[in-house]
């Protein structure tokens, strides 16, 4: 009985491998977005130590653009942009523009990259987070007229968010790619 329980536990894998996109299921992909956004906005958004918001949605966009059709990747990017824009103070359409642009660029380059290599995922996540970082910085710069408001703590928070998002995104993507292969 105990051996049977441990065997079924091995077949299921860890919880992170179960939290992944499923091929052919729009509903499970949308549910994954909602779940990751809930974790990003509610659970991780309330961490009291630094107020750093980790980006969990961008790894999904990268994954969908690498392994899904153009239509599905654009629909998922649209859903991600809508979820982020409804919970942020940015003008409507700004995240939509960035996410749709990223989805089109990633879709156009996906056949020219080797997705079997770990480095490809890290560099793609780095570039995606860099685009989002620059977008947010330009947006903040347009609202803040004084450069003095960009203090050392501001830069520390942005850099921490940047690298933490890349690290968590890399862990998520490596788990998703492993489960897709096997």
CA distance 37 to 80: 8
CA distance 180 to 22: 9
Instruction: Say if residues 60 and 32 touch (Cβ distance below 8 Å).
Output: yes
pLDDT at 19: 62
- We report the CATH number of the domain holding residue 133 as 1.10.1760
Instruction: Say if residues 24 and 67 touch (Cβ distance below 8 Å).
Output: no
Residue 33 in domain: yes
- 9-13, 22-26, 39-43, 112-116: range with lowest mean pLDDT: 9-13
> pLDDT of 86-101, one tens digit each?
877 767 778 888 889 9
What's the domain count of the chain? 1
> pLDDT of 25-74, one tens digit each?
777 778 887 888 888 777 776 565 555 677 888 888 888 888 888 888 88
Give the range of the structural domain holding residue 159, as residue numbers without chain letter: 29-181
Residue 163 in domain: yes
For 58, other C-beta atoms within 10 Å of its C-beta total 24
List Cα–Cα distances, 16 to 71, 138, 172, in angstroms. 27, 34, 8
- Report pTM: 0.74
Residue 117 in domain: yes
- 180 Cβ neighbours under 8 A, 6+ residues apart: 20, 23, 67
Residue 63 in domain: yes
């Amino acid at each position: 009985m105990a051996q049977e329980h441990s065997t079924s536990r091995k077949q299921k894998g860890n919880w992170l491998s179960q939290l992944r996109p499923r091929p052919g299921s729009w509903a499970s992909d949308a549910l994954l977005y909602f779940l990751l956004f809930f974790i990003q906005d509610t659970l991780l958004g309330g961490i009291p130590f630094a107020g750093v918001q980790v980006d969990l949605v961008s790894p999904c966009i990268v994954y969908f653009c690498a392994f899904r059709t153009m239509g599905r990747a654009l629909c998922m990017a649209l859903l991600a942009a809508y979820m982020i824009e409804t919970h942020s103070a940015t003008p409507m359409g700004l995240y939509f523009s960035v996410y749709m642009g990223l989805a089109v660029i990633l879709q156009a380059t996906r056949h020219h990259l080797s997705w079997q290599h770990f480095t490809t995922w890290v560099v793609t996540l780095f570039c995606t987070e860099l685009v989002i970082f620059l977008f947010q910085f330009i947006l903040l710069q347009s609202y803040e007229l004084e450069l003095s408001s960009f203090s050392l703590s501001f830069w520390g928070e942005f850099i921490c968010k940047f690298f933490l998002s890349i690290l968590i995104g890399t862990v998520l993507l490596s788990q998703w790619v492993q489960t897709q292969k096997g």
